[in-house]
Structure 1
Amino acid sequence: MTLVNDAAPPVRSTGRKFRAFTAKHLDELTARAGLGPDERLATRAVATVLPFRTNAYVIDELIDWSAAPDDPIYRLVFPMADMLPAEDVAHLSDLLRREAPKAEIDAAAHAVRMKLNPHPAGQMELNIPSFGDGKLPGLQHKYDETVLYFPKQGQTCHAYCTYCFRWAQFVGEPDLKMAGDDSQQLRDYLVAHPEVTSVLFTGGDAMIMGEPVLRRYVEPLLDLEQLESIRIGTKSLAYWPQKFVTDPDADEMLRLFEQVVESGKNLAFMAHFTHPRELEPLVVTEAVRRIRDTGAVIRTQAPLIRTINDDPAVWNGMWRTQTRMGMVPYYMFVERDTGPQDYFAVPLGRAYEIFRDAYKQVSGLSRTVRGPSMSATPGKVCVDGVLDLAGQKVFALHFIQCRDADLVGKPFFAKYDPDAVWLDDLQPAFGDRFPWQV
């Protein structure tokens, strides 16, 4: 193992303290993007419904302000007026314009949120198991071998993505939030479920936590022989790579990673990169090197997002760069059926074309990536292609993961629909129901 306290080479953005920007900064920042007063008001209206948070690193190093508001990184983090129905934006704008009471604005924003499917794929109803005296807060168990855990202290991010399917975690409504803070309860649940071989810490972003807090959740799991891997879902490498280079606890965090690997477990760092520009700063290269030197494996994933990365060249470039940096391309996701899906969604037929056109241009080392994949209620459904079969034009699909494990890997078919953006838009091609509906 490389000593994590080795002096790092000079990189841009080192030594800077984290500075967050929230909705109170929106008017100033959107003016910088060239928006007029009415457009800035509409942006603020959207931000009463969907969360906004970014930081100085994203603003200073990732956004091309000369191209804003059309710059893809700008659109990745800033609310846009057409992310919500025009009538809702107009109503909320009117409330803000006349300085309505906060309670009235909050009630109007809540009403809009409830129309946006804040918890897709049965997250609250189907995935949270009962344990002991009741439901286990902050834990999801959808597939036999994998448990997701949402640490209470990890329920924010260094910056929020406008497409994020976890947006409901960040809007300040307790009933919409998933969070747990009992590491012993997590351990007890795993012991009671020996079929679980992998734990994924998610949120929010688990890497928003400092090393002592993350250690409280991770260390009790290291002697569980049933666990083969510990995963950490994070956007930190894209939005705050200083976390692993110059933050005060960077070395201690990397020592914790080493400890996980030395315990005999695979530490999988599930990094979200949505656009190639997020890979360009030198500090990202250094952060990746330091994480990999601990023995952790960095796997990369992102959703396919209209106006941001819906271009095969973007994905081809990302996968090749990630492979060159020693990371493993893992997933291209379909934008989930929640939040501003109508703004970001790419039709499934087009999603497959983008994936295929990018995939055919990379070497076998990058063909570890899977997609386009929908994380739907019955499981992770991969679009394998569009073909003519028995006189019909159909989508060929299969389950990468499924609540019913017997369906994993078995192909099934749906009628081709050029407008379909999600599993629920599809109809069975042969018969009157899909396999999981039997």
Structure 2
Amino acid sequence: MTLVNDAAPAVRSTGRKFRAFTAKHLDELTARAGLSPEQRLATRAVATVLPFRTNAYVIEELIDWSAAPDDPIYRLVFPQEDMLPPEDVARLSDLLRKDAPKAEVEAAAHAVRMKLNPHPAGQMELNIPSFGDGKIPGMQHKYGETVLYFPKQGQTCHAYCTYCFRWAQFIGEPDLKMAGDEPTALRDYLLAHPEVTNVLFTGGDAMIMGEPVLRRYIEPLLELEQLEAIRIGTKSLAYWPQKFVTDPDADDMLRLFEEVVESGKNLAFMAHFSHPRELEPLMVAEACRRIRDTGAVIRTQAPLIRTINDDAATWENMWRTQTRMGLIPYYMFVERDTGPQDYFAVPLARAYEIYRDAYSNVSGLSRTVRGPSMSATPGKVCVNGVVDLMGEKVFALHFIQCRDADLVGKPFFAKYDPDAAWLDDLKPAFADRFPWEK
């Protein structure tokens, strides 16, 4: 199949060049949201700790400025004053107010970052494999069949989500960054590990790269018979769908997707949609159509985020719309234990209620979605529900993925706690320890 002559319909934003907005634009943008000078200063203070980046498409097409700063898309991309402890915001605000030296501000921001668990689930300590002469930069191998790769050129996004658990990738501290630039090393590692059947390109956002750069990483993998699937984790369909319709290399990118499919591999486009409004623009529908026409499969996922999508109707709307567009609902995640988790986290009991209520109102075609799932240190833990068992109220859970493959799919139980928001908040029920605790 060929897409070169496909003409894009008359959709909004065609031909508009990508324009990024960063922390230096925050005062102007937050003024548009109606924030007072002190509130704008506090927002800038938070942005010294957590990254901020958005673009013209998000600002003009997705945010309802008449509802800002309470608009969910605004909250999705703009720092909020109460994301950090008040004393930290006050300290950083004072430094900005008196125009303190950049080094002093950065030192204070670094101290706050180190309290925010910048690398959850043992990412830096447990997941980076050794091979040949040492560890492979930019690679994670947490589960036997799947390798994650973080291309060096993909370590940013078209816009940053305020909830992002990989926020440490974007703050300019090299010791916290995962990035690799050795496609050959990736290929050689896979050849030495025939158990690996899936490679996931992630970041940042792999789709921030141009086609020639992404091709450097993907082409060496196409002849590996062991690989069944290549996955691309991305928020680009929500934040810059022009990537696949009107950008200069859109057709070349789609040809690359075709080549992956024609090699006999499943190309799984792991698209992040956090709110139904991200699915509304005509440009998104056209981008999805063009990607699917290459033979790629688009699967959708997002975390459950307080103040943004923490109600069943929002998820039901998303899953219904995605199914109608030919996308496959895949995961509802629990907000990870990093960054401003306390600001965004939804208790597990409430998370399950939201998932169940939304799940019960969609058809079987949308019930491909799994959740609520925690990507914790031992693996991906799914909350199956709250049950009364042997006279005790407990959470029923199971592993969707696990470092110990023998535990996958086996139920286990935790004492009910209405305030628990993460696996580490739970205590085992009917046992002295959890199954992974030796």
Category of TM-score, reference length = shorter chain: over 0.9
Give the C-alpha shift of residue 7 in structure 1: 1.1
Give the C-alpha shift of residue 431 in structure 1: 1.3
Cα distance in 1 between the residues matched to 2:229 and 2:5? 25
Contact in 2 for aligned 1:4/1:290 (Cα 8 Å):
no
Give the C-alpha shift of residue 326 in structure 1: 0.4
Please list, as runs of the form range in 1=range in 2, the aligned pairs for 1:195-214 lying within 5 A after superposition: 195-214=195-214
Please list, as runs of the form range in 1=range in 2, the aligned pairs for 1:123-134 lying within 5 A after superposition: 123-134=123-134
Cα distance in 2 between the residues matched to 1:320 and 1:190? 37
Contact in 2 for aligned 1:229/1:266 (Cα 8 Å):
yes
Cα distance in 1 between the residues matched to 2:299 and 2:10? 25
1:148 maps to what in 2? 148
Residue segments in structure 1 that go unaligned for 5+ positions in a row = none
4+ residue segments displaced more than 6 Å: none
1:23 maps to what in 2? 23
Cα distance in 2 between the residues matched to 1:297 and 1:23? 35
Residue segments in structure 2 that go unaligned for 5+ positions in a row = none
Contact in 2 for aligned 1:329/1:367 (Cα 8 Å):
yes
User: Which amino acid counterpart does residue 203 of structure 1 have in structure 2?
Assistant: G
2:176 maps to what in 1? 176
Please list, as runs of the form range in 1=range in 2, the aligned pairs for 1:20-419 lying within 5 A after superposition: 20-419=20-419
Residues matched between the structures, number: 438
User: Which amino acid counterpart does residue 97 of structure 1 have in structure 2?
Assistant: R
Cα distance in 1 between the residues matched to 2:47 and 2:345? 20
Cα distance in 2 between the residues matched to 1:148 and 1:349? 30
Give the C-alpha shift of residue 5 in structure 1: 3.0
- Superposed CA offset, 1:306-343 (max 9, x none): 00000100000000000000000000000000000000
User: Which amino acid counterpart does residue 340 of structure 2 have in structure 1?
Assistant: P
Give the C-alpha shift of residue 2 in structure 1: 4.9
Counterpart of 1:8 in 2: which secondary structure? coil
Contact in 2 for aligned 1:332/1:369 (Cα 8 Å):
yes
Contact in 1 for aligned 2:3/2:251 (Cα 8 Å):
no
Give the C-alpha shift of residue 4 in structure 1: 4.0
Contact in 1 for aligned 2:150/2:179 (Cα 8 Å):
yes
1:13 maps to what in 2? 13
Counterpart of 2:383 in 1: which secondary structure? strand
Cα distance in 1 between the residues matched to 2:405 and 2:108? 42
Cα distance in 1 between the residues matched to 2:205 and 2:219? 18
Cα distance in 1 between the residues matched to 2:77 and 2:373? 23
- Superposed CA offset, 1:116-148 (max 9, x none): 000000000000011111111000000000000
Cα distance in 2 between the residues matched to 1:274 and 1:210? 24
Cα distance in 1 between the residues matched to 2:207 and 2:272? 12
Cα distance in 1 between the residues matched to 2:6 and 2:421? 48
Give the C-alpha shift of residue 151 in structure 1: 0.1
- Superposed CA offset, 1:291-313 (max 9, x none): 00000000000000000000100
Cα distance in 2 between the residues matched to 1:262 and 1:134? 34
Cα distance in 1 between the residues matched to 2:122 and 2:167? 15
Counterpart of 2:16 in 1: which secondary structure? coil
Cα distance in 2 between the residues matched to 1:307 and 1:367? 24
Cα distance in 2 between the residues matched to 1:283 and 1:178? 32
Contact in 2 for aligned 1:2/1:293 (Cα 8 Å):
no
Contact in 1 for aligned 2:3/2:254 (Cα 8 Å):
no
TM-score, normalised with respect to structure 1 = 1.00
Contact in 2 for aligned 1:304/1:332 (Cα 8 Å):
yes
Counterpart of 2:436 in 1: which secondary structure? helix
Cα distance in 2 between the residues matched to 1:161 and 1:240? 13
Identity %: 88
Cα distance in 1 between the residues matched to 2:5 and 2:334? 39
- Superposed CA offset, 1:64-113 (max 9, x none): 00000000000000000000000000000000000110000000000000
